[in-house]
Structures are given as C-alpha cells and as structure tokens.
Amino acid sequence: MIPHLLSIRELSREDVLDILERASRLKREGACCSALAGKVVVNLFYEPSTRTSCSFEVAAAGLGAHVLNWNVASSSSVKGETLLDTARNLAAMGVFAFVIRHPNAGAPALVARHINCAVVNAGDGRHEHPSQALLDAFTLKEKWGDLEGRHILIVGDVLHSRVARSNLYCLKLLGAKVSFCGPPSLVPKAFETLGTHIYFDLDEALKEADAVMMLRLQKERQTEALIPSVQEYHRRWGLDLRRLSQLKRGAFVMHPGPVNRGLEMASEAMEGPSNLILEQVSNGVIIRQAILESLQ
Amino acid sequence: MSALILKSALVVDPRNNKNAVGDIYFENGLVVSHAPSGAQVLDVAGHCLVPGFVDMRCTVRSRADLQLALEQGYTTLLCPQEAPDGIFFPEAPKCLHMAPLTRGREGKELAGVPPGARVLFDGNRSIGNAALMRRAMQYASAVGVVVMVHAEDKLLSGKGVLGEGAAALSWGIPCVPVSAEATVIARDLLLLEEAGGHLHFAHISCKRSLQLIAEAKQRGLSVTADVSPMHLNNWDLSIEAYSPRARVWPPLRAEEDSLALREGLKSGLIDAIASDHYRRTKDEIEEPFELCVPGGEHLNTVWPTLWSMDMPLADKIARLTSGPARALRLGGGHLGEGAFADAVVLDVKTGQVLKTIVDGRICFSRGAML
C-alpha cells in the first residue's frame, strides 16, 4: 500500500512488485466492481491526453468509483485559478484521489504536499510517468516471467521524456539493464550518472537489446535545433525493417504511443509478432486499477 | 548631531589592519580621532567592534526586511530596485539605489548616469549585445562608476531553472549549463581589457567562472566578484526535489562548485558576500518548481555562514565591510578617521550581533527592541 504514486524513483522494489502482483490477480480474476464504490476519483489533466486519461477513467469505473474529468481547456484554470486552488476546491467536495497530468515537473508532488488526498502522477513535465513504466514492466514480465539480467534499450528523445525516466528506475528495480540511444542533444551523457549506458549508434545498440522501446519525437525539436531534420533523425535513429531484422531473435518492440509513423518508426516496423504496442494499452487499464487499489 | 564613545572594544577593522583593544569615537555621523565632548559613552569591553555590514544586493519589500537587516548588523544596503514608499523608519539602515546600465534595463541603449550614482546594474539581466556592453563599460569608466554584471547568456540558459547535472535530469526540469555564466564572464573580461574601468561580477555560481576571474586578477585587471550564501551552503543535490528553497537565481549547481566558492571566499579571490535577499509571497512559491519566483530570505544567513567558516575573523569581517565597499567604490566599510559612523558590536564567542550603529546612532540592541 502506498499513500501516493508520484514517481517510481521513490518506490521500493517491494512496492513495485506489490502493484505488479495486484495487476496479475486483476487480470486473472477480474476487478471487484465495488472496491472503490462511493469514492470520487478526479482526472485533473492540464495537458491533452487520450490514452492515459481514458485508461484511468476505465480503470476507476471498473472499480466502482465515480470519475470526474477535469480538463484544463474547459475549466476555471483558464480564468487564472492556480493548480493548488483548483485542487483545494475539488478536494473540498470530497475526493478520494487525484490523477494529475501537468506540463511542469513536480506539480503532482506540490498537490500531494498541500492537500490531504491521494495523488497519482499521470505524467508531469519531463519528470516521470510512473503508471506507464509499471504497465511496461508488467507487459515484459508477462512475456519473460522475470526481468533479471534482461537488457532494455530506450531510443529517442530521452531528455524530454518522462516515460524514459520512469522506465529507467522501474526496470532497474526489477534487475534489468537499461540503455539509452539517440542524438547527444536528446540523450545527454550526464544520464550515465543515473545508472544507464548511452549509445549514439542505434545499429550497434540494437544487437544487444532484448527489448527496444521507441519514444515519440516531438516535431518541434527540429525548430529548437536539437535535430537537423526529421528525415535525418529517421535515418539515424528511426526503426525500420532493416533495423528490425538486426534485433535478437524474440526481442520485443514497444512504444508508449502515440506513434509518429515514418518518424521514430516506419509503418512496416509496427507490424509483426514482436510488437507489443496494443498489449501495452490493454495492460494499461489493469495496471491503473492495481495502482488505484493500492492507494491507502 | 550626536556623539558616541565606544570604550574598550576589540576593534577589528580589516581595511586599516587594526585588530586591537581600543576606543572608537563617533561625532556628526563620522569617525573622529579624539573623544568628542558631551558624548554618550558605551562600555563594550569584552565585545568585538567592527565596521557596519554592507549588503551589495538586497531587495527591500517591507519594513520587516529593514528590521531584519539591522538585527544582522547591516548599516548599508544596495538595492537593485527602489523600495516601496512608507516602509522606512528613522533607525533603518541606509539604502542606496543602483542605477540601470541600460534604459529600462532592456539591454538596448545606454541609460544616463544620474548624479550621485555609484553602481550601474541591470538586475538579473545580462546584456546580450557585446558592442553595447563595451560602450557601457567605456562610458562608466569615463564617469567613474562601477558596472555590476549578472553573467548569463540567455540563449544558453534558455528555460533552465537548475544547474546542469544529475539533479536536473532526475527532477526532469530544464537546466542551465556552466557555459551560460562562464562565456559572459570571459567575454566581459576581454571587453574590460579594452574599455578600462572596473567590473564587478554579481553572485558567481560556478567553479569555471572563478578560474576566469582568478586569471584576470593575476593579469592585473580591475575586477571583483561576490557570492550569495545560497550558493555557498547548497548545491543541486543537497536540497529536497522541487523545494521552493532551491529556486534561486543564478541556479544552484554541483557540490564541487559550492566547494570552490567557499575556497574562493576564504582566499579573497571572491571579495564579498551579498545576500540576494528577496522575500517571496506565498503566491510566488505555491507553484510548480519552474513557475516559482526565484529568491528567498537570506539576510539572516550571510553572517552566520561567514562566522561558521574556517577563516580568520578579520577576513570574515572584510568580506562584509571593506570587501564590498572597495569593490563598489562606496567609501566606508572601515573605522578609520573620516569614515561613516557605522559599526556593529559582536559577541566574541558566538558571533551574535549585539548592537548595530548607523550614522553614530544605536539603531538595534539585542534583547531590547528599538
């Protein structure tokens, strides 16, 4: 049981294993539709999201909770209300948990510090996206049974990626080795201080990986001069059929979505048995039920 | 005006190489050499008497800031911006307002130098245009004022809020490379060679910057620097993630930078310590880290920080008195004849400020509010 889920970094191996075991049970036996009966879960989203907000909504509804979707575009924050004031007002209506996505790192932690409610981080800036990492670990664990000694390669815009950070901590807690690959402007060498290995050459890196996780590239990274062009990015760090064939036998391909077809992944590379993208999505609901269930 | 005799104190006056028991005389707001007649006599035997502390950068937003400054031994504050009306009281420390270097502090054209101005400072803004900076330095040199520089290349610092390193990466926040500060220091030192005059670098935060300044001082350039207590006492990994305390400007950097700054302060490579005090409202810190307004209450950490450092007492005093006064060509900062009658009485054992004297008047006494 945990009071909040703000980051993987502050979880123990036991916390992670507990959530993964709950998820296995939920997948096997189905969710108890009264586990959160009478409780209100608020999705507080300050950034557009389809996958994550829907996934949390379906998960909470499956446990019998009442879900409020608070979307920034249609809320009073456009009238200048601060995050904390919004959260205070909603909390006063009697809320069990906030599920928060925010463009600034540390925003869910700020709410958790000031408001007496459970807080789940659904992605904050480039900090963390813990539920994504847990569902990725769950998906791989289902395939391999154990992550000990496995090597997962994360490719692309690691610098701006909360998915990469959460996965780094989560996979390492479970005994896996994690490497990053991409251009130095998006994969700074300093990441090695967090316990990862850095590759700049994707062809070299792919040979070593048991699973490769491709990250979404924001097209505005080109205008920020972090990459010379999207074409060059695809040529050097994109996953196409040729590179797919270089992977070890049985290695898996993952992506947190949404995919830029033809940019970080060629369309053809999205087909095939090694691709886990849709399994990631369906496991997402189960993991989020496990998270909501484990909140004290 | 009043006269005051401070008897039998251990006088520590670094600028005049004085470190001995003696009497100090104040008359009409100045230090005089002979005991004035009809003066109030204060026996401070067993205590230490030092020049009044000078803060090179302090934002005064309320009366509480002025009161805190007095309690900490400050007699002169240099303010980057005008303090609000109506907060001053007769015993307050002296506030000198720094004039802008460029019009509207926009970094586009030279601002005039108002009569009486001693220091030109654009606040926490660097001048991106090197040609303009060169002309500003030439002009300041000709009219005899000091240019204070906040060294930051805006293009390199971008949206950064913490020094580049493991903490910024794991907190997932934009970071500022060392080069954002060091390239501007390197540039301005080269410009100083051509333009002449005197340059003062505000709140140095990196080891690399210190190396550049050390080299410039060795070459005989007229350059000085200060450091803030935040950068001496903290680094990126020493503070809890997203704590508003860590939101300061320039950003916190690595532990090795902090250690180098402490060494620089000890050796005198760094001439002064400035508070960069900026009392924030609740609204300014109840936001996600990146959106918090940088600042903090630091007037009360400067002297305790210095006191705790392993360096001779006279050097500690110098960094808060003659150091800043000399760097900014302010006059004062010492207890020689003709200097301002600004002084502090300290407890020799604890370093605690017992009395603050501004212009020959006792403005603060510990244990007894005004």
Catalytic residue ranges of B: 276
Check B241 against A165: CB less than 8 A apart: no
Distance, in Å, from the CA atom of B263 to the CA atom of B261, rounded to the nearest integer, reads: 5
Give the other-Cβ count within 10 Å of A30's Cβ.
11
Nearest-CB residue to B172 (from A162, A188, A190): A162
Is 0.90 surpassed by the pTM of this model?
yes
Task: Spell out which chain A residues touch chain B, with contact meaning CB-CB distance below 8 angstroms.
Answer: 9, 82-84, 102, 104-107, 109-110, 114, 124-128, 162, 165, 188, 190-191, 193-194
Residue A155 DSSP SS3? strand
Residues of B in contact with A127 (CB under 8 A): 171-173
Closest residue, chain A, to B175 (C-alpha):
A159
pLDDT the model gives residue B1: 58
Check A106 against B291: CB less than 8 A apart: no
Structure tokens at A135: 């569902």
pLDDT the model gives residue A77: 61
Classify residue B238 by its DSSP letter: G
- Residue by residue, pLDDT tens for chain A (296 residues) are 899 999 999 999 999 999 999 999 999 999 888 899 999 999 999 998 888 999 999 999 999 999 999 877 666 666 678 999 999 999 999 999 999 999 999 999 999 999 999 999 999 999 999 999 999 999 999 999 999 999 999 999 999 999 999 999 999 999 999 999 999 999 999 999 999 999 999 999 999 999 999 999 988 788 888 999 999 999 999 999 999 999 999 999 999 988 999 999 999 988 878 999 999 999 999 999 999 999 97
Residue B173 in contact with partner chain A when CB distance is under 8 A: yes
Query: HSE (CB half, 13 Å, CA atoms) of B21?
Result: 8
A58: Cβ contacts below 8 Å, ≥ 6 apart: A285
Give the other-Cβ count within 10 Å of B4's Cβ.
19
Beta carbons of B52 and B344 less than 8 angstroms apart: yes
Helix, strand, coil fractions of chain B, as percent rounded to 5: 30, 25, 45
E strands in chain B: 3-13, 18-27, 30-32, 40-43, 47-51, 53-55, 74-79, 94-97, 119-121, 146-149, 162-163, 175-176, 199-201, 223-227, 272-273, 343-347, 353-358, 361-365
List the single best residue of A127, A160, A172 to mutate versus B (max B Cβ within 10 A).
A127
Tokens 């789940």, located at residue: A120
So what's the ipTM on this one? 0.89
List the single best residue of B171, B240, B245, B287 to mutate versus A (max A Cβ within 10 A).
B171
Check B172 against A127: CB less than 8 A apart: yes
How does strand A97-102 pair with strand A40-45? parallel
Classify residue A147 by its DSSP letter: -
Tens of pLDDT along B240-292?
999 999 999 999 999 999 999 999 999 999 999 999 999 999 999 999 999 99
E strands in chain A: 40-45, 66-71, 97-102, 118-124, 151-155, 177-181, 197-199, 211-214, 252-254
Q: In what order do the strands lie in the sheet with B272-273?
A: B119-121, B146-149, B199-201, B223-227, B272-273
Give the residue ranges of DSSP H helices in A30-73. Answer: 51-62
A45: Cβ contacts below 8 Å, ≥ 6 apart: A53, A69, A70, A71, A72, A100, A101, A122
Check A191 against B169: CB less than 8 A apart: yes
Would you say how long chain B is, in residues? Answer: 370
Tens of pLDDT along B290-313?
999 999 999 999 999 999 999 999
Residues of B in contact with A109 (CB under 8 A): 241-242
Tokens 């550049």, located at residue: B212
